[in-house]
Amino acid sequence: MAMPKLSTSNLGKVFRKGDLVTEALRDVSIGVNAGEFVGVVGASGCGKTTLLRLIDGLIEPTTGTVTVDGQRIDKPGDKIAFVFQQDSLLPWRNVLDNTVFGPEIKGREMAAARGVAREFLHLVGLRGFDRHYPHELSGGMRQRVNLARALTVGADILLMDEPFAALDAQTREIMQAELLRIWRETGKTVILVTHQIDEAVYLSDRVLIFTVRPGRLKEELAIDLPRPRDLAIKRTAEFVRYADRIWRAIEQEVRDSIGREASAFADAEE
C-alpha cells in the first residue's frame, strides 16, 4: 500500500500555564491518503483544533511527529493551507488582496498570483467582488474568501477548522455542497474539524471520532456513501445510520461537556 500523504505518529500536546497543566491531545496516530476527505468530530474539549494546529506546524507537539510526503513538519510551510473560522480576513484589505496574502508573504510574483487568486475566487463563486471589503460581505461570502485564500496558497492539503460554524443553517448547507464541488475539482486532501455530525458524514470519506480530556482517537468510521453526493443524501436511511453511530459514540461525552460548561457558567455567575 502506498505511503499516506499525511501521517501523525504518537502525537501529543500538553499545555502548561503556570500551575495549570492541560493535556489536550494524547498519542494520536493517523494517516490520510492523497485526495482523501477526512472529518474529525468529538465533544468540545477533545483537542480537535489542537490537532489541526499541530499538523499545520503552528504549535509544537509535546510528543510525536507530523509527516507530509515523507518530510517532517515543524513549522508552517507550503504543503498545508489552513482555513480558519470566520473573521480571519484582514479587514483593511479588499477581497483580492486578502486572497493573494499567501503568495505575497512568500514573495511570489504578484501579477501571476493575482491571476491565480481570481481563478479561485471564481471557483468559490465570488465573481466581481474583488474590490469589496470583508465588512461589506455576508458571513458565507467571507468564508468563501477564506477558502479561496487557502486554495491560492497552492498547497495539496487543506486543514479546515469548523469553517461553517458561524453560518446560519441554510448557508451552511449550501457551503457544504459547494465545498464538495470544489474538493472534486481541485483534488485536495482535506481534514475538516466540525462539531456537526451530519456535516462530517455528508462530506467525508472517513470520520475520526475523538474522546475528551485528553483528546484521543476513539474510533474510525469509513463513510461508504456514493459520490458525488447531493444534499438529498442527508435524508437517506444509510446516512442517518452513520450519523446515529457517531452520535452514540460521543453522546455521553457531549452531555458531560454540556454539564461542565453549565457548571463553569454557574461558577462564573457566583
Residues that bind other proteins (CB under 8 A): 56, 58, 75-78, 81-82, 84-85, 87-88, 90-92, 101-102, 104-106, 133-135, 153
Shortest Å distance, C-beta 128 to other proteins: 20
Distances, alpha carbon 137 to alpha carbons 58, 89, 169, 264, in Å:
28, 11, 18, 35
Q: Which is nearer to other proteins, 133 or 254 (CB)?
A: 133
Q: Which is nearer to other proteins, 44 or 88 (CB)?
A: 88
User: 220: which 3 cell numbers?
Assistant: 474510525
Q: H or E stretch including 98?
A: helix 95-99
- Residue closer to other proteins by CB (options 142, 206) is 142
Q: How far is the CB of 69 from other proteins (least distance, A)?
A: 17
Q: Which triple of cell numbers denotes residue 22?
A: 492541560
In whole angstroms, how close is the CB of 53 to other proteins at the nearest point? 8
CB 91 within 8 A of CB 134: yes
In angstroms, the Cα distances linking 184 to 20, 71, 78, 202, 203 are: 44, 26, 21, 14, 11
For cell 448547507, name the residue.
Answer: 173
Cβ 140 to other proteins, closest distance in Å? 17
Task: Give me the least distance between CB of 24 and other proteins, in Å please.
Answer: 16
| CA pseudo-torsion sign 203, 7, 152, 132 | positive
Residue 82 vs 183, nearer CB to other proteins: 82
Taking alpha carbons only, the member of 242, 171, 165 closest to residue 201 is 242
Looking at beta carbons only, is 130 or 205 nearer to other proteins?
Answer: 130
Least separation in angstroms between CB 102 and other proteins? 5
Residue 76 vs 259, nearer CB to other proteins = 76
For the CB of residue 58, give the shortest distance to other proteins in the complex, in Å.
Answer: 6
CB neighbour list of residue 129: distance below 8 Å, 6 or more residues apart: 95, 121, 137, 141
Residue of 160, 162, 178 lying closest to 170 (CA atoms): 178
CB burial of residue 18 (10 Å; 0-12, 13-18, 19+)? exposed
- Distance between CA 176 and CA 230 in Å, rounded? 10
Q: Toward other proteins, which CB reaches closer, 106 or 227?
A: 106
